[in-house]
Amino acid sequence: MSSVWTAAEIADATGGTANEEFAVDGVAFDSREVGAGDLFIALTGEHTDGHRFLEGAYAQGAAGALVSRDAGGPHVRVADTFAALEDLGRASRARTAARVIGVTGSVGKTSAKEALWACLDRSMPGEVHRSVKSYNNHTGVPLSLARMPRDTRAGVFEMGMNHPGELAHLTRIVRPHVALVTAIAPAHTEFFPDESAIADAKGEIFQGLEPGGTAIVPFDSPHRDRLIAAAKPYAARIVTFGSSAGADVRAIEAVRLPTGASFVTARFGSDPATARELSFTLAQPGAHWVSNALAVLAAVDAIGADLGLAGLALADLGGLPGRGARFTAPLPDGGGEALVIDESYNANPASMRATLAVLANEPGRHVAVLGEMRELGEHSARYHAELAPALAAARVEAALLVGEAMGPLAQALEQTVNVVHVPDTASAIGALGGVLSPGDAVLVKGSNGVGLSRLVATLRGQ
């Protein structure tokens, strides 16, 4: 396998100067993630300076570093390491022949990105690159591009934002052939006047489309027409997905199986003479996953990849840590076991409702461990209180609510549900023993900053 970058290529891409020749097989800006053969990028920010960690990065096997001052090992020196990271991402994009898909949305973007990778890897094994984790911001996107192997055939890049203008910048670095919006929902509302403004910000992803590119839009969204209008100046083709008549990629059948999976038949196109159908099993439970799968298949079809193999991949798709992974947790003192649904990575009102609907279909007593939803601005109290009907529909009998912002929901539930309201995750971990019982089905979900992943780790016995 050829290297990802040589020192000469890094210097050429960034306008920097190499102190010696070296080659790297990967790229990292977090010194804790540096592996043998990597390029370590010493970013300088408000709270830390990556140059402080150069010695440790070399000790961990870094083959070289991108720096803005002299270093003790092999390096390329530039004026600004953040600008150089973006330049390296642009250079990676410029040299690749890969078909590139960009993904954004208020909910489901990481899940859709992972599902797309799984679907494309079936037909191009070992030749598909994707963003890792949720590296979807101003540093994560160029890093994900910079890591892309030079012989990649397809690339899938997640792009996020919490302010207007961010996606417009990121998408022009990624330059996707296909740009996908999964859904529009209240998220980061602290920074936007209303949901329409969120839709406008998400629609910025279409501005980076390559000539002849495809925009993929949720048909059932109330913001569909707004997104289509945003795509028209940039997209040669606009494809909609959803369950309603009129969607270009439509679920004409979605049957929940006893295992929690769904059997789905999707129709591609509305003209009877040319329409195609694909029936597949979708391993991940929930109506929101049916929508995600339709979006993913629309993107697979847009780049001409194999839909049949994509359907097989969706049948094998497992839950991601923090985004639907399931495990059986032993209760203390040999008190039996509980099913845990780990949705701890993030939360907003739409994703809370979607995952509570999944909990509704599980056997046993239903328990919700919910962390507060952040960045909801002046309407935060209302958004939290309005989750009460979703908990009722999910037949939640006990709720462990974490964070001050969960107060309005605790008040809304106090007459119908056994509620324990605690200030933080440490307190929630201490309260688990009094909440859980053998045979429970437990949903864990909250904004990432609440730290419910630590509670999940406790349930796993880690």
Beta bridge partners of 256: 262
Helix or strand run (H / E) with residue 226: helix 224-231
Six token digits for residue 195: 């949901």
Residue 279 annotated as part of some ligand binding site? no
Residue 111 annotated as part of some ligand binding site? yes
> At 325, which amino acid appears?
A
Phi, psi angles (nearest 5°) of residue 30: -100, 115
Helix or strand run (H / E) with residue 354: helix 349-359
Q: How far apart are CA 201 and CA 358, in angstroms?
A: 29
Contact of 446 with 371, CB cutoff 8 Å? yes
Q: How far apart are CA 194 and CA 352, in angstroms?
A: 19
Residue 108 annotated as part of some ligand binding site? yes
**From the CB of residue 382, how many other CB atoms can be counted at a distance below 10 Å?**
11
Residue 407 annotated as part of some ligand binding site? no
Query: If you compute the radius of gyration of the chain from its CA atoms, what whole number of angstroms results?
Result: 23
Half-sphere exposure for 387 (CA within 13 Å, toward CB): 35
Residue pointed to by tokens 């390029």: 39
Residue pointed to by tokens 């985004």: 323
Q: What is the 3-state secondary structure (H, E, C) of 161-176?
A: CCCCCHHHHHHHHHCC
Residue 110 annotated as part of some ligand binding site? yes
Residue pointed to by tokens 């306008």: 15
* 3 state SS of 300: helix
Q: How far apart are CA 310 and CA 290, in angstroms?
A: 14
Dihedral of alpha carbons 151, 292, 201, 227, sign: positive
Contact of 226 with 200, CB cutoff 8 Å? yes
Q: How far apart are CA 433 and CA 243, in angstroms?
A: 42
Residues marked as binding? 105-111
Q: Which residues are annotated as a binding site for ATP?
A: 105-111
